Structure 1
């Protein structure tokens, strides 16, 4: 028995409705949670992945995957390893030690609906990035016709100014005798 801490009035809360499976198609998703779990039989482990749909009318919906990475059935392990490899390729992570390395990176999944009405992921691929459009070609040079005009007198060219004096004092170079101008005055 569990005390609810008061009376719960179900007439004041909209009841939850069963969620239908996602329609078959491609969805952009990201893994938001993952963990290794023990199989029902207790003889193996699977990687459980929770994914969020990122776009469209189904944004925010959840999709789940279970990959039997430790199992006595070697075929189940091989299928799961190929699926994990497809996820790694889609996310550009070729070597992974922890499943958290795959979180919050977008990828595309192909979803189908199985006979029991549940979603089944049929494939993974990288999100294609739209290629940048090449820059437009430069416009052709415009040629304009100018009517010839009478030659005008040219103004005289400006006179060149002498270079600005250098800043700071620079003593003159010593003469051949070694005496500079200041040394020539003796008392």
Structure 2
């Protein structure tokens, strides 16, 4: 029980409304808070990240992620290490000792809605590789590769990586 220090009159205050999920898409965010937390089972720890959306109609909304960095499930640890690496690459910080080194720097997140109905982060990338939120362009039609005729003294093009473009979080 807690004394409110007077009588609270709810008729004088607009009630809060439940917040809906963010639509799936890409958002420019910054990490504003992070901390290591103990897992529910008590067998590991995860890095909890709180991020603010920086622009658009959802400016100021928050998104969260958990990175299981200490866990008996090695696959969970590997997935989380890849996600942390993606954050570091997106921010140009290759070596960090404290998660605060990642705060207040813009990066892009890919947000999806999980089967259970909650927003979840599916990837991280630098701001420079961004596409506008809600851009749902059709995937390009794959054409068979045709080798261009060789030019005297020309260098072959660099190899390209397959996968999900610049997104660096995989496995979830």
Into which bin does the TM-score normalised by the smaller protein fall? 0.7 to 0.9
Shift of 1:129: 7.9
Show CA shifts across 1:140-185 (max 9, x none). Answer: xxxxxxxxxxxxxxxxxxxxxxxxxxxxxxxxxxxxxxxxxxxxxx
Q: Which residue of 2 aligns with 1:30?
A: 30
**Alpha-carbon deviations, 1:66-105, whole Å to 9, x = none?**
0000011111101000000000000000000000000000
SS in 1 for 2:60: coil
Query: What does 1:20-99 correspond to in 2, within 5 Å?
Result: 20-99=20-99
Q: Secondary structure at the match of 2:21?
A: coil
* Equivalent position of 2:122 in the other structure: 122
Question: What TM-score does the superposition give when structure 2 sets the normalisation length?
Answer: 0.74
Distance in 2 of aligned mates of 1:76 and 1:115: 19
CA–CA distance in structure 2, aligned partners of residues 61 and 78 of structure 1:
29
Q: Deviations over 1:103-135 (max 9, x none)?
A: 0000011110111221111111001189xxxxx
How far, CA to CA, are the matches of 1:54 and 1:10 in structure 2?
32
In angstroms, what is the RMSD of aligned CA positions?
1.3
What CA distance in whole angstroms lies between the structure 1 residues aligned with 2:116 and 2:19?
Answer: 14
TM-score normalised to the size of structure 1? 0.68
Which residue number in structure 2 is paired with residue 138 of structure 1? none
Q: Is the partner of 1:79 in helix, strand or coil?
A: helix
Tell me, in whole angstroms, the C-alpha distance in 1 between the residues paired with 2:23 and 2:129: 24
Match of 2:166 in 1: none
Distance in structure 1 (CA, Å) of the matches to 2:115 and 2:125: 24
Q: Which has the larger radius of gyration?
A: 1
| Count of aligned residue pairs for this structure pair | 130
Q: Distance in 2 between matches of 1:116 and 1:54?
A: 26
SS in 1 for 2:82: helix
Question: What stretches of structure 1 of length at least 5 have no aligned partner?
Answer: 131-187
Give how far 1:14 is off.
Answer: 1.0
Q: Which has the higher contact order (CA 8 A, sep 6+)?
A: 2
- How far residue 36 of structure 1 moved from its aligned partner, in angstroms, is 0.3
Moved over 3 A (4+): none
